[in-house]
Amino acid sequence: MSVTPFDQQNLPTGDGHTLFVAQYGQTDAPAAVVLHGGPGSGTQPSVLEWFDLSRQRVVLFDQRGAGQSQPHGEIINNDSTKLVADIEMIRERLGIERWMVVGGSWGATLALLYAAQHAHRIRAMVLRGSFLASQRELNWFFQSLRAMAPLAWEQMTLGWSEEQQQQVLATLGTQLLKGSEQEAEEAATRWGAYEEAIMQAMSGKLTLPAAPSRASARTIGKYRLQAHYLLNACFTGEADVLKAAKALANTPTVIVHGSHDLVCPPENAARLAKLMPHARLDWVVRGGHTPADPLIASALREAVLALQASP
């Protein structure tokens, strides 16, 4: 989708960061904000396909250090508390009273953390492929998923000691945050190739891993931010995320989760649903994790449409 924003800004946070913000659709229509995943992935214009831009106002922005926000890959003054404050700052700067919040993966985590403090500013919420910021999920992705993509995992950990293989995230994080430029590039390359293999496995296209291409500066910044957050328990924790979900009893919510999501296990959606009995849980049969999955994208369009008229 090629759509021109009606407004585009670079908003300073006051502590060394500048946020890229773009608005689409109709200025006087009900507003929605999309919180991208990662951390560090940046927003993608393709998410606009979930919305009817003739009847909605959609705000996209890149979180600190991600996408077009500057400085790229910066971890100083970058934590979940500041990201929550940024969301509220953007709402105030744009003069929006209340909005729909749509978050996927890490963005779903952030949506819940934002709601814990500003539920009265949210008229509806869509949570896709929810990440709960738990050690359980990190162990699953970096260690247990070896069983689903054994060749890719072996390629990611090639040449490592047994101790390093038992602490994949810590090993990658040390190289990204404390290593040389060459070590950071190699770690980002390994991480990215493994992540891509998991995405392929979810789509049923498990193939022999090819020699990974060298990570770009943008990719290195993305995984540097992910390492920064994941090694610090995302500066929150599963208990805080679940507590926030439990408190949203009056917020119209749709939880979208793929039955074949290997990145954020389906049990995450089941946990949220138990705490949010008012929410609609949409299981996407054979759906994966990425919103580029046509099945997931279709479910997101339906969820946004269902909540569009929320007061």
Q: Which residues are known catalytic residues?
A: 105, 261, 289
Contact status, residue 3 vs residue 47, Cβ threshold 8 Å: no
Distance, in Å, from the CA atom of 110 to the CA atom of 95, rounded to the nearest integer, reads: 21
- The three-point CA angle 60-65-68 to 5° equals 50
The DSSP output letter for 289 is S
CA-CA-CA-CA dihedral for 288, 292, 293, 297, to nearest 10: 110
* Residue whose token pair is 């599963």: 238
d(CA 300, CA 311): 19
Residue holding tokens 């022999």? 208
DSSP secondary-structure letter at 262? S
